[in-house]
């Protein structure tokens, strides 16, 4: 499917279907929608007057042009109330429109850029959001389907009439396409069944991405992981027949910089819980337990594509968590790469374990900031549901940057406190720390363990267990793996500028 921008008049554009939009409460459409309305002898105005179309967010209605336009069908998508309009609503409208056009059997779609006119958005931002929404909304996982899934669009063309805005729209569309593709790549990785994406395959995927996008990639196997004293990763992987991997992606810009951002993502390619075996229902989507790692790989793909001016390192400790005969056991003590010891209270709290070693590894880069991202706890689903990732931090300035990036990308995060009092819950009597803290504040005690391994560097922990997977179809997030995080992490890198206060 091709997504492009052209300069021209949407009234004259030859497509199967043309997409226009409407804010809620508008009775006489303006802009491109108004022009289409006039060409259709006021049909859209009539629909509004009759109460058949209100412009509610993501509401759609289609009508026939009957020869008044080259396009056979016109699709109107609602943008909701104008004073509640956001970049994310533009993304949603684009996703909803693209999916509706596909359902209608259209092949060639032409659309205006939602929000770039009356909506008042910056044209680059609006066009980027429109392309993202389109590419993300149309996503399907097709690795195992034998039929072609029926209907597919051939092209979506964003038509901009204003010559002065066109360069911006064109730039936004090409950026949005790259960003949407990266997130879909994350979805592909996270959706792939556990048996078909063991640690070695995840590492292989990262390495071929790195080749394609000009990043340096180093893959450590079990011996090299042992040589780095990352015994905690080895401990977690002991119950599995699949050898672990430690993935290192390195982007160093041409111009000298003293800013280094380390992104670390949990890469548990399947989480059975280990000897603390999960019940069946809870295990069902644990092939997605590497979603944090995949989002780091996706963010690094965007770093390779856009080549920002800061250094960015991506780290993914990749392992299965299995209950094999040699599996690590409750009560075991593992020693992390920085020498700290961890009592294993529950083998199902494995994400914080592999990340502990990754955070130790991060120190060699003398990082300006560290962001880790992980499907760490079921508790964060209880706290925040599917609409925000949990954020925990030791640095308010870094957290503010991540929160701001969440607003821009629509990948929202919400801070939970990480007061020292919570550290009490992970105190061990036989080791430096234990890997669980009881039922109370389960997401925070996970972060409290990680905090011991960041060596007081500015750090943000993102718990994405609630947002990485969705069972409700949303305008640009179809059911399944959402691909959350790549856009968010990349946005932080992109907006980095002068670093931290």
The single residue among 289, 320, 357, 432 that binds ligand BES, judged by CB under 6 A, is 289
**Strand order through the sheet with 433-434:** 333-335, 341-343, 433-434
Minimum distance between the CB of residue 402 and ligand BES, rounded to whole angstroms? 20
**425 is an interface residue for ligand BES by CB under 6 A:** no
Least Å distance, CB 463 to ligand BES, is 9
Residue found by looking up tokens 């399947």 in the block: 270
Out of 73, 89, 352, 434, pick the active-site residue: 352
Give the one residue of 44, 182, 349, 462 binding ligand BES; rule: CB under 6 A: 349
Q: How near is the Cβ of 319 to ligand BES at its closest, in Å? A: 11
Looking at 21-29, 110-118, 170-178, 346-354, which segment touches ligand BES (CB under 6 A)? 346-354
Q: Which is nearer to Zn ion, 43 or 319 (CB)?
A: 319
Judge whether 153 and 118 are in contact, CB under 8 Å: no
Distance CA 100, CA 3 (A): 16
Q: Which of 1, 21, 220 is nearest to 131 (CA)?
A: 1
Q: Out of 314, 351, 478, 480, which residue is the one contacting Zn ion (CB under 5 A)? A: 351
- Separation CA 320–CA 316 (nearest Å): 13
Residue 378: other Cβ atoms inside 10 A: 14
Which CB atom, from 343 or from 348, has the smaller least distance to ligand BES? Answer: 348
- Active-site annotation holds for 352: yes
CA–CA distance, 240 with 323 (Å, rounded to integer)? 7
Report what 428 binds from Mn ion, ligand BES, Zn ion, none; CB cut-off 5-8 Å by kind: none
Cβ distance 261 to 313 under 8 Å?
yes
Mapping DSSP to helix (H, G, I), strand (E, B) and coil, where does residue 316 land? strand
Q: Does 133 bind ligand BES (CB under 6 A)?
A: no
Nearer to Zn ion, 95 or 317 (CB): 317
Binding of residue 348 to ligand BES (CB under 6 A): yes
Site string for Zn ion, 254-283 (x = CB under 5 A): --------------x--x------------
For Mn ion, the binding residue among 343, 345, 348, 432 (CB under 5 A) is 348
Q: Is residue 357 near ligand BES by the rule CB under 6 A?
A: no
User: Which of Mn ion, Zn ion, ligand BES, none lies near 363, with the C-beta cut-off 5 to 8 A by kind?
Assistant: none
Of all helices (H) and strands (E), which one includes residue 304?
helix 291-306
For residue 323, state whether it binds ligand BES (rule: CB under 6 A). Answer: no
Q: Which two tokens stand for residue 409?
A: 């990308």
- Cα(187)–Cα(136) distance, integer angstroms: 10
Q: Is 351 in the site for ligand BES (CB under 6 A)?
A: yes
- Using the rule CB under 6 A, is 299 a contact of ligand BES? no
Q: Of 38, 56, 278, 329, which residue is the catalytic one?
A: 278
Bridge partners, residue 389, by sequence:
413
Q: Which of 253, 323, 324, 378 binds ligand BES (CB under 6 A)?
A: 378
Segment near ligand BES (CB under 6 A); pick from 28-36, 328-336, 342-350, 359-367: 342-350
Phi-psi region of 25 (alpha: psi -120 to 50; beta: other; left: phi over 0): left
Tell me: does residue 350 bind ligand BES (CB under 6 A).
yes
- Residue 487 annotated among the catalytic residues of the structure: no
Orientation angle between helical segments 291-306 and 486-494, nearest 10 degrees = 40
- The residue of the chain with the least Cβ separation from Mn ion equals 348
- DSSP secondary structure letter of residue 23: -
CB 399 within 8 A of CB 392: no
448 to 477, contacts with ligand BES by CB under 6 A?
465
Which tokens sit at 294? 């995949």
Answer yes or no: are the C-beta atoms of 347 and 321 closer than 8 Å. yes
Q: Does 289 bind Zn ion (CB under 5 A)?
A: yes
**Cα separation, 295 vs 285, whole angstroms:** 17
The rounded distance, in Å, linking the Cα atoms of 216 and 211 is: 8
Q: For residue 422, what are the contacts with CB-CB under 8 A and spacing of at least 6?
A: 437, 441, 444, 445, 448
Taking CB within 5 to 8 Å according to partner kind, which of ligand BES, Mn ion, Zn ion, none is near residue 481?
none
Residues 6+ apart with CB under 8 A from 162: none
Determine, following the binding rule CB under 5 A, whether residue 468 of this chain makes contact with Mn ion. no
Q: Binding marks (x or -) toward Mn ion, 238..277, rule CB under 5 A? A: ---------------------------------x------
CA gap 222, 231 in Å, rounded: 10
- Residue 375 contacts ligand BES per CB under 6 A: yes
Residues taking part in catalysis? 278, 352
Which chain residues interact with Zn ion by CB under 5 A? 268, 271, 289, 351
Which chain residues interact with ligand BES by CB under 6 A? 271, 289, 346, 348-351, 375, 377-379, 436, 442, 465
Which chain residues interact with Mn ion by CB under 5 A? 271, 348, 350
């Amino acid at each position: 499917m091709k997504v492009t921008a052209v300069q021209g008049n949407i009234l004259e554009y030859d497509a199967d279907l043309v997409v226009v939009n409407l804010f809620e409460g508008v009775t006489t459409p303006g802009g491109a929608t108004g022009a289409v309305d006039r060409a259709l002898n006021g049909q859209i105005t009539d629909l509004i007057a009759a109460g058949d179309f209100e412009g509610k967010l993501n509401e759609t209605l289609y009508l026939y042009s009957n020869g008044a336009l080259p396009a056979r069908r016109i699709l109107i998508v609602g943008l909701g109330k104008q004073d509640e309009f956001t970049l994310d609503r533009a993304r949603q409208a684009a996703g909803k429109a693209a999916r509706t056009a596909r359902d209608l059997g259209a092949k060639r779609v032409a659309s205006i850029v939602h929000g770039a006119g009356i909506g008042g958005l910056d044209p680059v931002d609006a066009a980027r959001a429109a392309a993202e929404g389109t590419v993300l909304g149309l996503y399907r996982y097709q690795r195992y389907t034998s039929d072609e899934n029926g209907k597919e669009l051939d092209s979506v063309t964003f038509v901009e009439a204003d010559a002065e805005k066109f360069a911006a729209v064109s730039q936004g569309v090409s950026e949005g396409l790259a960003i949407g593709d990266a997130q879909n790549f994350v979805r592909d990785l996270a959706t792939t069944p556990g048996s078909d994406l063991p640690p070695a395959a995840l590492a292989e995927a990262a390495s071929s991405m790195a080749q394609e996008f000009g990043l340096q990639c180093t893959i450590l196997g079990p011996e090299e992981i042992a040589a780095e004293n990352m015994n905690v990763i080895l401990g977690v992987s002991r119950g599995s027949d699949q050898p672990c991997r430690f993935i290192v992606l390195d982007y160093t810009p041409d111009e000298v910089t003293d800013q280094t951002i380390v992104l670390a993502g949990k890469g548990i390619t399947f989480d059975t819980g280990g000897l603390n075996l999960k019940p069946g229902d809870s295990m069902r989507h644990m092939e997605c337990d590497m979603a944090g790692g995949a989002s780091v790989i996706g963010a690094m793909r965007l770093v390779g594509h856009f080549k920002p001016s800061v250094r960015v390192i991506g780290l993914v400790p990749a392992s299965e968590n299995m209950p094999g005969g040699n599996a690590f056991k409750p009560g075991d003590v593992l020693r992390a790469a920085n020498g700290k010891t961890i009592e294993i209270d529950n083998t199902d709290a494995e994400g914080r374990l592999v990340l502990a070693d990754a955070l130790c590894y991060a120190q060699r880069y003398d990082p300006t900031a560290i962001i880790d991202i992980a499907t760490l706890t079921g508790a964060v689903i209880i706290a925040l549901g599917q609409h925000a990732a949990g954020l925990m931090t030791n640095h308010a300035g870094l957290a503010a940057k991540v929160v701001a990036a969440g607003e821009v990308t629509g990948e929202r995060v919400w801070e939970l406190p990480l007061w020292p009092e919570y550290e009490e819950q992970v105190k061990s009597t036989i080791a430096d720390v234990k890997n669980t803290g009881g039922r109370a504040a389960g997401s925070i005690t996970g972060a409290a363990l990680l905090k011991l391994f960041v060596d007081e560097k500015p750090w943000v922990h993102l718990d994405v267990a609630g947002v990485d997977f969705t069972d409700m179809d949303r305008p640009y997030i179809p059911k399944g793996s959402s691909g959350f995080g790549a856009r968010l992490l990349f946005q932080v890198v992109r907006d980095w500028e002068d670093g931290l206060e």
